[in-house]
Chains A and B, each alone.
Chain A
Amino acid sequence: MKKIFDLQGTVLFKICSKKTLKIMKLTSFLLFVTMFSVFGSKTYSQYARLNLNMTDASIQNVLTAIEEQSEFFFLYSSRMIDVSQKVNIHVESKNVNEVLDEMLSSTNIKYDINDRQILLVNKESDFAKKIQQKTISGVVSDKNGPIPGANVVATGTTTGTITDSNGKYTLAIPQGAESLTFTFIGMESQEITIGTLTQIDLLMVESAIGLDEVVVVGYGTQKKVNLTGSVSSVGNDIISKAKNSDIVNMVAGKLPGLRVKQSNSEPGQYNTHFDIRGWDSPLIIVDGVERPNWNRMSANEIESINILKDASAAIYGVKAANGVILVTTKSGTKNQSNIVYTSSFGTKKMTNFPKTLSLYEFATLTNENSVNLGNPPGFSEELLQQYKDGTIQGADWGASVMRDLSPMTEHNLTFSGGTEKVTYFATGAYMYEQGLWKTGDLNYKRYNLRSNVTAEITNNLKASLQISGISDVKKRPSGGRGTSTIIRSIWFQQPTLSIYANDNPDYLSVCYDGTHPVALTNSAISGYNNIYYKSFTSNFNLDYNIPFVDGLMAKMLFAFDYDETYTKNWRKKFKLYTYDAVNDIYNSKFTDSPSQLTESNQALNKTTLQLSLNYQRTFNNKHNVKVLGLFEQRQFAINNFSSQREFSMDALDELYAGSSSNQVSYADPNNIYELANQGFVGRFNYDYKGNYLVEAGFRYDGSSKFAQGARWGFFPYASAGWRISEENFMDFLDALDDLKLRVSHGILGDDAASRFQFLSGYSYPSSGYVINSEFISGLGFLGMPNPNITWFTSATTNIGLDASLWKRKLYFNLDVFRRFRDGLLATRLLSLPGSVGSNLSEENLESDLSSGYEIVLGHKNTINDFTYDISVNYAFTRTKWVDKEEPVSGNSYLNWQNSQVDRYKDIWWGYNQIGQFTSQEDIYNSPIQDNNGNRDILPGDFKYLDLNEDGIINEMDREPVGYGTIPDINYGINITMSWKGLDFYALFQGLSHFNSRYGEMLTYPLPWGQNGLSIFMDRWHRSDPFDPESEWISGKYPSTRIPTSVPWNYYDSNFWINNATFLRLKSVELGYSFPENWIKNLGIQNLRVYANGYNVFLLSKILSGIDPEVPSSGSPYPIFKNFNFGITINF
């Protein structure tokens, strides 16, 4: 009830505040009707009884008092109703009609009761009607049809009307009026010039981020206009415009300040990196409870995602120092019922994948490697020629196992709605995604269920239950070998080998490592690794309006979460064959034996209890006060175990079928523990007429990670806001809708220390030893205990400016922040001699400072049927060390190289590659870099800057050559457009200021002597590979040699540390909603079809064939682009 009133109040507030003085003098009429349809019985007004005893009170105060006593709420426009008039009222147990009659008798206000909703209008409106001259009529509608209750006002006057139930209006225009202003809650207001028109039909458009929007903040909600903290939010409509199994990937680029970097697209992997403003892992709160496993949620169950980026997060205490992500799930709406079915089908394709060397290229590089190392070439000239002209074909390992396109699909069915007393939201979702392999043995399947039910048990007591279950299965072939092992195997199998012995597909050929790609991508041959994840989360809430105290509410939340990860790893032995052509037989060579089955289980249990008292009241129509007091307790326990058996007969992949000899039972002691937190929270909000806003709060938090004396921490914060646009002196700027300055500062605590560092003793078990043929587990020796270990703190300051101009055609947000963390944990390892023989436990020693800014700039407009909104967000953040525990360097040069104090954290040190050696003469005249008088160096090898000019290239010549792997700069461009039934969305996402250093096969030609990537053909080489004296031909890479024999070519340097900056079209979606009259007969309210793409295209300077977002090392699963077609049906 209060929320609805607030919503209305806000819009009115806006209207009222700008030209209050002028308007208040005029008496005119304006009707104002709510958007909320009216259902159900009207008996409430008959039986509700009111007691009021107020003298010289403003009408507004009386109305507030009535609202607080009852379920009534008032709708009125302060343009036409002067609620500051003073009245006296003394009633006892009267119904509302009697009260209002008494109160309003002396005023020019009349009322209209509609169930619990009471509309106040001006009695003189009928009179005013008589003096107008020209009449305009029309229909106001939105994309769903006519809008009843929309406001139509002659601009600059108080003359207006509202639309009827068919959206129709007729308005007599006063003299001098030149245009009409159309407003409706939740819609963009529009101004249309009258000119000679007598009919104006208007299509209204939803406002994307209205001033009246309510955002979720710590333990509650707040109107966006009243926010004093730094919060970004995104609603379901925008979240769902992307197709990905990981919700984090779906919000990438949509929330300013949330940094997202995708690592790979392996189905079910959930390893996308995300953080807020470059800090450590943020706290994830789903429906008020900490739930880190949010990435598996279905987009359809999420109402909104908000992130708290500044000191306002302090209210969450533990871990909130890194910001908070608040996820709110959907709930049902009263007196409605909806059935929505959505479905999509799509296909995925790798964005980038490096090419491997062809048979000819492989032989060429192999020969060069031999010659460059002073050995004769292995492949003869005749052979090379045959490879080159295709007489002899090489094996294409990649094509044998990888598919071009992999499918994905998604279905979702939602029931939502409610009656007067009960609302419900129930949804079920299914998604299925396939991976890269032709066999289809890499795949992911997920089921999501959710039920959110709220019931008003009495007038004062509300109960709700939110339950969610997730079950998923991730299947991978090859019994625990990572996908990167398989990809590496595809890359390095030589094209000289054949995939099948004698090309007979029944016999896999012997190959390097025994990692035959065909076997490894097939579960039937090599086994599987299946991960079954199940999670159950539940919230039980009670909200109780405490009678006798106005505005006081007690709340209780109890949440119980459980999740379980069960892994079944079946590593099956298999055979590889050679073909004996003479005898026409196949010899099996190696089998990967014995077969092994490992089953492991990890389960965690979590309970959360919150008890709170909320108080909210407005005094004298000016002073708005909100107070929150809360107690929270979280308990967490985790457990795991695993068992393994070996199999001689592997027809049955169940533990009971395995052999009991050599069986292993194991549990990971690091994942068996319990944790508990308790916190007391207090918060106070005050605003004066909504113009001056103040919030202050604290959290007193205790953590079981610390010893008794160091356990509790007190973390206060405060913030303030000033809505400059509401000041009279800003009236001259008509275009200004809103201008607000926000400042916040607070100290947050973080308990990210390892557990039990205040204890001395031994951990058990640890590495053991075999004594007398018996294995005995040993002890782990803990470091010297530190009983004083405690919270480290983050002092966070944020200054923000929000502005919107020309009816929100232009909007702008700026946030500048600074976070100083103190008492960061570090061990004094480096300052304690090693001869002491023990490490100290961590202490609260170090500190760092991050700072940065975020900007959002947007423009939106409606031109006839065409509506668009374009916004750009840009965020920059960097962190530097202030205090760092480090050894004293011997001299200032070493200090410059090694000290991290007062230096940014994300600096990559390396050699400065100034080119490549061009000749032997060049080599001999250059500083020594091979420890052997440069005798081992060849033309084409990398030449480095001798920074300290000592004639030797060594460690001392390193200097900063790049940034870290996590980008400092994030930006996104969001575009939404709609025209009639068509809608369009596009998101460009970019990351900058980060580097990648690739390893293994992306750096070494012919790794392990096996095949490599074709990028290394661009290398220095002799013009005649068979003549070691022929002239050199230059290339990007050094001449081909075993990497370990030429380590100087592989030093970290500006050559290898790639600038990974990129811009990509992350999401694009085009949808069409069918006109209502086409589908009405089918019983469908709304039907939308759409096509979307994800990771559609990419601009980057990185190594060809590599996506800039993939991790720097190894041979990771690539990143995919998706294309999907979907349908949403609303019955």
Chain B
Amino acid sequence: MKKYIYILSLVIGALLYSCEETLNVAPKNIMQDEAIFNSDAGIEAYLASLYNSIPMYSFESTGISWGNGGLPAPEYVSEMLSACFWVELQNFSAFFSQVGKWNEAYKGIRNTTNFISKIESASISQNDIPKYLAEAKVIRAWYNNELVRLYGGVPIITEVLNFTGDNLADLQVPRNTEKEVYDFILKDIDEALPNLNETSGGGRINKYVALALKSRAMLYAASSAEFAPVQLDGLVGIPSSEAIRYYQAAYDAAQAIIDAGKYSLYNSNPDKAQNFTDLFLNTAGNPEVIFLKMYKYPERCHVWDLAMLPYSQRSPRTYSSNSCPTLEIVEEYEYIDGSDGKLKIADDTGEPIEYQDPAAVFENKDPRFFGTILYPGSTWRGNPIEIQRGIIDGDQTLISGVENDLYKGIPIMGEDGPGNNNGLGTLSGFYLRKYLDPTMSPSDVAYNSDQDWIVFRYAEVLLNYAEAAFKLNKTADALWAINEIRRRAGIVELSEITEDKIRHERMIELAFENHRFFDIKRWHVAHEILSSIKIHGLMPFLVYHEGGDPGYIFKAEGIGYIRTFHQETDYSLKISDSEINANPNLVQNPGH
């Protein structure tokens, strides 16, 4: 018996070797400041997170509007020019509520501020510290720029705020004025500039990236001062007296980039349309690229091709046709000779003009049109884009919702639509070409696109320069910059410059790059341009000739609902109710 007692106590003793110690379990994926700030790799990882949260309005794999579901994410704001967006747009307020990234931006600001406060005592090479510090300040300016252009003045947060249990009032920071925020952005960038490198690898901030951001931000500030009414004691809007100062800052920043001579417009292919297509795909070594958001398969991919491919070229993983340029934007593209871009689809009496080749109606358009948009009769990767609404045979107009429905052996509907009422294929008669990757066969397209997104390019700097110069009465500078762009585009140069022409050039050059919507907002013309408007598509019909070759005519058709941009409410975004409730010191934007 004793033997067993002995064995038993031995076993119990062995198993009870530890007590409280057992409960001290270390986390497997949590690191502290020491681990991060004492190595370059840790700091690079920190910076990667900061960069990753910057709202760059690129293509992202999340938030894209699939088919008929939901609203598009802010990355797709420029689809204001796109029919698919329009159909889904219920109203601008609802859209705005999707855009608002208040909390995300402030998380970024907090993390950047935390970085700034700790980097100076990091145990790394002392030479690198000012560079990292400068990089972080530009990133913080970028977050603040995003907030101010959506909301107007916002609270400026310069230190890491922590809740200690009884300091809630200290955390309820009131809004600064819009002017104060823009000046804070200016200050962060100006402090950073001396310590930034002249060059950097793709996707990383250097001196010229900071200058490009500065010219863009200051142009927004200047527009706000010039066009927006000052409301709420300057929380929204900037006194107009500040306009010239900001235009000057925008002009100077752009001038600095131009003078450095490191960047030029991409001009490698004598075929101007192809050149404009290549500009967005040949990003490596591209002299026009100032800042890239880079992607790399398989770690970091997007779905641009999957979402945007024409219906007939779509990936087997479904989704296609997510952006369909409207007839309105198509007609904005001038002809090479500089004449008005209206399409000649009807003669003076209003009778439709019949074309043998549907592509003929687009002849002599601005080459940038061909580099940006896929249209009826165009090809992609050697495949024809078949856009056909129906067949006209004498008095009879045939339309079919079935893909392979034939009339006298001819498909009634084009393989790429339009006409399938349920949103497959284009709605407007056009597809987007910009950024589409021609090297990938559609069947390989999945959640795997990795072409880079150009965040800042030299052309934008020239456009910023032209706009600021014009306002500063330096019309020669403005004309030069616009003509630089038109020459590269392959369209006749201007002999004189106006504000309208600068704005028009900006719309065409930067189409679908997520500028237009913010531009018409900062110019305060959105409520005029988007006043009870309905958008249109271009519908090609095959004209059947018994025994002869068919012809094509085009009809413009309204698509989607009428939408209105409301002057009172849609210029400045509503601060969410929960944020107003959590911070009684916040003043809500006008109209909300």
Tell me the A residues contacting B by CB distance below 8 Å.
Answer: 366-367, 369-370, 373, 375-380, 383, 457-458, 460-461, 496, 512-515, 542, 544, 547, 554, 556, 558, 573, 576, 590-594, 609, 611, 631, 633, 635, 662, 664, 669, 672-678, 702-704, 708, 711, 755-756, 759-782, 784, 828, 830-838, 840, 887-890, 931-932, 936, 1006, 1008-1010, 1042-1045, 1047
Contact = CB atoms under 8 A, between A and B. Distances in A.
B200 to A, nearest CB: 8
B471 interface: no
B46 interface: yes
A826 to B, nearest CB: 14
The 4 lowest CB-CB distance pairs between A and B, nearest first, are: A1009-B422, A378-B401, A772-B201, A837-B110
Given A370-B401, A837-B157, A769 B106 contact: no
Nearest to A544: B8
A761 B49 contact: no
Given A594-B444, A768-B299, A772-B204, A672 B29 contact: yes
Contact of B443 (A593, A635, A775, A890): A593
Contacts of A369: 421-422
Contacts of B422: 366, 369, 1006, 1008-1010, 1042
A838 B110 contact: yes
Contacts of B581: 830, 887-890
B30 A761 contact: yes
Contacts of A375: 421
A438 to B, nearest CB: 23
Contact of A835 (B90, B401, B583): B583
Contact of A1045 (B45, B51, B87, B402): B87
A835 B318 contact: no
B371 interface: no
B247 to A, nearest CB: 30
Contacts of B582: 830-834, 887
B268 to A, nearest CB: 21
B259 interface: no
B402 A496 contact: yes
Contacts, number: 292
Contact of A833 (B5, B91, B171): B171
A782 B29 contact: no
Contacts of B583: 833, 835
B162 interface: yes
A461 B31 contact: no
B237 to A, nearest CB: 21
A1040 B152 CA distance: 43
B23 A664 contact: no
B173 A835 contact: yes
A651 B296 CA distance: 28
Contacts of B22: 633, 635, 676, 678, 704
Given A378-B402, A931-B91, A776 B202 contact: no
B163 A779 contact: no
B23 A702 contact: yes
A609 B296 contact: no
B203 A770 contact: yes
Given A378-B421, A828-B163, A781 B30 contact: no
Interface in B441-459: 442-444
26 contacts: A378-B405, A378-B420, A461-B4, A590-B442, A594-B444, A631-B16, A669-B28, A676-B23, A678-B19, A678-B20, A704-B23, A704-B25, A755-B27, A762-B30, A762-B31, A764-B29, A765-B29, A768-B300, A771-B204, A828-B163, A830-B578, A833-B171, A833-B172, A836-B110, A887-B577, A1009-B420
B380 interface: no
Given A590-B442, A769-B51, A833 B579 contact: yes
B399 interface: yes
A556 B88 CA distance: 66
Contacts of A556: 8, 11-12, 15
A770 B317 contact: no
A484 B224 CA distance: 51
Given A369-B422, A674-B28, A775 B299 contact: yes
B102 A777 contact: no
B316 interface: yes
A594 B315 CA distance: 12
B316 to A, nearest CB: 3
B298 interface: yes
Contacts of B294: 770-773
Contacts of B293: 770
A768 to B, nearest CB: 5
Interface of B: 1, 4-5, 8, 11-12, 15-16, 19-20, 22-33, 36, 44-49, 51-52, 67-69, 87-88, 90-91, 102-103, 106-111, 154-155, 157, 161-163, 168, 171-173, 200-204, 293-300, 315-318, 397-402, 405, 419-424, 442-444, 561-562, 576-579, 581-583, 586
B11 A592 contact: no
B419 to A, nearest CB: 7
A834 B405 CA distance: 55
A781 B442 contact: no
A677 B22 CA distance: 8
A756 to B, nearest CB: 5
Contacts of B5: 544
A889 B580 CA distance: 10
B246 to A, nearest CB: 25
A20 to B, nearest CB: 42
Contact of B317 (A380, A514, A675): A514
Contacts of A771: 44, 47-48, 51, 201, 203-204, 294
Nearest to A375: B421
A367 B402 CA distance: 11
Contacts of B67: 1008
A251 to B, nearest CB: 34
Contacts of A373: 421
Contact of B88 (A460, A513, A763, A1044): A1044
B401 A834 contact: no
Given A514-B315, A514-B316, 5 more contacts: A672-B28, A762-B36, A767-B52, A768-B300, A832-B163
Contacts of B315: 514, 590
Contacts of B45: 764-765, 768, 776-779
A379 B297 contact: no
Contacts of B400: 378-380
Contacts of A547: 1
B269 to A, nearest CB: 24
B453 to A, nearest CB: 11
A592 B316 contact: yes
Contacts of B25: 673-676, 704
Nearest to A664: B298
Given A762-B31, A764-B29, A772-B203, A834 B44 contact: no
Given A375-B421, A556-B12, A832-B163, A514 B318 contact: yes
Contacts of A513: 316-318
A592 B19 contact: no
Contacts of B202: 772-773
A591 B48 contact: no
A880 to B, nearest CB: 23
Given A702-B23, A835-B173, A1008-B68, A761 B443 contact: no
Contacts of A376: 397, 399
A160 B578 CA distance: 81
B318 A773 contact: no
B107 A838 contact: yes
> Among A515, A708, A775, A936, which residue has the most Cβ atoms of chain B within 10 A?
A775
B109 A890 contact: no
B49 A769 contact: yes
A558 B36 CA distance: 41
Contact of A1044 (B1, B69, B163): B69
Given A576-B316, A1008-B68, A773 B401 contact: no
A1042 B68 contact: yes
A544 B8 CA distance: 9
